[in-house]
């Protein structure tokens, strides 16, 4: 009997992932493995900014990676329930803020134009993975339209700059997945703490007052809820909203007077939640 050449190209079952792109042809869809590659791409992109030794810190990279992971999870739920392409949504969600951390920008964050640089970066990344121009374009357009949210729209209007709006179901789904995180308590915490950072362009708006930062984050969360399009996102928002209300009750003034007491109260809230779960 002729011996089977396991793993050799002469083996009829042989399927290499390493074949040159031209032999495999461009890929029409996003696979699960691509989502993992996209996560690695995001980590590398952020690490490169940290390595520059400028304003982007390792802590900022961690905060933004955590945000990307939560948005990817929201995107997965939305895609599953709305009948959309789960891998495509998840990949776009993972990388939607890949252009956000930037040395040279105030506080190391490009708030108002990161959707443009991010869209270009994700297009190039997908092209390197051998995706068809159609796939590259679809994901690029999703990333490009995710910044059409109230406070960025106000800035764009003030500066007479155009802001791409979501048009397709997938584009709305990504924006939903992203803004849902502003209602999630962890995303809420991210907004409060960005506003408390002296280097942030939002610091002056609240004058460093923690209660004002909490109010601003709450306004962001309320505005986020109003622009949700998918029914799944609205349902998720209801759950996030209830948890946020419980957190807000916990952190009421006068106990929270600065960043330190805010963080302590946030931790106490988590501890109480964990305790209640085990009762
Ligand atoms: Fe973003």
Task: Domains for the chain: give ranges and CATH numbers.
Answer: 25-164 (1.10.472.50), 182-274 (no CATH)
Distance (Å) of CA 236 to CA 147, 179, 181, 249: 20, 11, 10, 20
CA distance 251 to 41: 37
Higher pLDDT, 215 or 25: 215
207 and 232 in contact (C-beta within 8 Å)?
no
* pLDDT > 70: percent of the chain: 91
Distance CA 56, CA 103 (A): 6
What is the percentage of the chain residues whose pLDDT exceeds 90? Answer: 77
Residue 222 pLDDT greater than 70, yes or no: yes
Would you place residue 54 in the very low, low, confident or very high pLDDT band (cuts 50, 70, 90)? confident
Residue 74: which of 212, 213, 233 has the closest Cα? 233
Question: pLDDT grade, residue 227 (50/70/90)?
Answer: very high
Distance 209 CA to ligand 1 centre (A): 25
pLDDT for res 253: 65
For residue 273, pLDDT over 90 is answered with: yes
Q: Is the pLDDT of residue 199 over 50?
A: yes
- Rounded distance from Cα 96 to ligand 1 centre (Å): 6
Tell me how far the alpha carbon of residue 64 lies from the centroid of ligand 1, in angstroms.
10
Distance (angstroms) between ligand 1 centre and the Cα of 270 equals: 26
Query: How far apart are the CA of 13 and the centre of ligand 1, in A?
Result: 43
CA of 23 to the centre of ligand 1 (A): 36
Centre of ligand 1 from the C-alpha of residue 93, in Å: 10
Whole-number pLDDT of residue 157: 93
> Which of 3-12, 233-242, 251-260 has the least mean pLDDT?
3-12
Whether the model pTM is above 0.85 = yes
What spacing in Å lies between the alpha carbon of 32 and ligand 1's midpoint? 23
CA of 153 to the centre of ligand 1 (A): 13
């Amino acid at each position: 009997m002729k011996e089977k050449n396991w793993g050799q190209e002469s083996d009829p079952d042989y399927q290499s992932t390493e074949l040159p792109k031209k032999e495999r042809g461009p890929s029409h869809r996003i696979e699960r493995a691509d989502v993992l590659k996209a996560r690695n791409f995001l980590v590398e992109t952020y690490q490169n900014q940290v390595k520059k030794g400028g304003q982007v810190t390792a802590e900022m990279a961690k905060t933004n990676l955590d945000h990307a992971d939560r948005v990817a999870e929201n995107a997965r739920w939305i895609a599953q329930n709305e009948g959309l392409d789960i891998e495509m949504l998840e990949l776009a969600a993972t990388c939607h803020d890949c252009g956000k951390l930037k040395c040279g920008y105030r506080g190391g964050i490009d708030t108002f134009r990161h959707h443009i640089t991010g869209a270009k970066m994700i297009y190039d990344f997908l092209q390197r993975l051998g995706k068809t121009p159609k796939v590259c374009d679809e994901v690029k357009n999703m990333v490009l339209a995710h910044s059409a949210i109230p406070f960025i729209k106000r800035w764009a209007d003030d500066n007479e700059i155009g802001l791409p709006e979501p048009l397709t179901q997938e584009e709305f789904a990504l924006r939903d997945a992203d803004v849902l995180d502003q209602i999630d308590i962890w995303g809420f915490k991210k907004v409060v703490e960005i506003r408390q950072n002296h280097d942030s362009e939002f610091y002056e708006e609240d004058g460093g007052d923690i209660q004002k930062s909490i109010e601003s984050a709450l306004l962001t969360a309320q505005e986020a809820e109003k622009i949700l399009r998918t029914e799944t996102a609205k349902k998720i928002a209801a759950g996030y909203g209830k948890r946020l209300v419980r957190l807000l009750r916990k952190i009421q003034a006068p106990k929270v007077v600065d960043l330190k007491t805010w963080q302590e109260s946030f931790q106490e809230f988590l501890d109480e939640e964990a305790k209640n779960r085990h009762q």
